[in-house]
């Protein structure tokens, strides 16, 4: 069974993907879960998505030890507050 983590982002946060990766990691550790995970970030503005930095950490010690994360990213600028609440 796939685990789902969702974040709604309505302001520019360059580190949102890092926050999402951290929440997923902590949730999996707490639940002792090591299966597939779908991380979804729903932005309320294209500018928020454009400014989010990708999770990409490269080891300077060992080039085979790198951490990357990919998330499903959705931009929904025309959603009303009620639609966001109803989608949760």
Owning domain of residue 55: 3-78
Model confidence pLDDT, tens digit, residues 2-14: 565 556 566 788 9
Cα gap 84→76, rounded to integer Å:
9
The DSSP output letter for 84 is: H
Q: For 6-35, b where at least 16 C-beta lie within 10 A, e where not — what string? A: ebbbeeebeebbbebbeebeeeeeeeeeee
Question: Is residue 8 a part of any domain in this protein?
Answer: yes
Model confidence pLDDT, tens digit, residues 16-51: 888 888 888 898 899 998 888 888 888 888 888 899
Question: Is residue 59 a part of any domain in this protein?
Answer: yes
| Two structure tokens written together for 39 | 């991380």
Q: How many domains does the chain have?
A: 1
Question: Is residue 85 a part of any domain in this protein?
Answer: no
């Amino acid at each position: 069974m796939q685990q789902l983590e969702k974040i709604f982002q309505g302001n520019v946060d360059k580190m949102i993907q890092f926050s999402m990766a951290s929440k997923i990691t902590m949730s999996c550790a707490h639940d002792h879960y090591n299966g597939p995970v779908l991380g979804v970030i729903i932005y309320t503005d294209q500018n928020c998505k454009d400014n989010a930095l990708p999770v990409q950490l490269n080891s300077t010690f060992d080039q085979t030890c790198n951490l990357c994360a990919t998330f499903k990213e959705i931009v929904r600028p025309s959603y009303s507050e009620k639609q966001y609440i109803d989608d949760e």
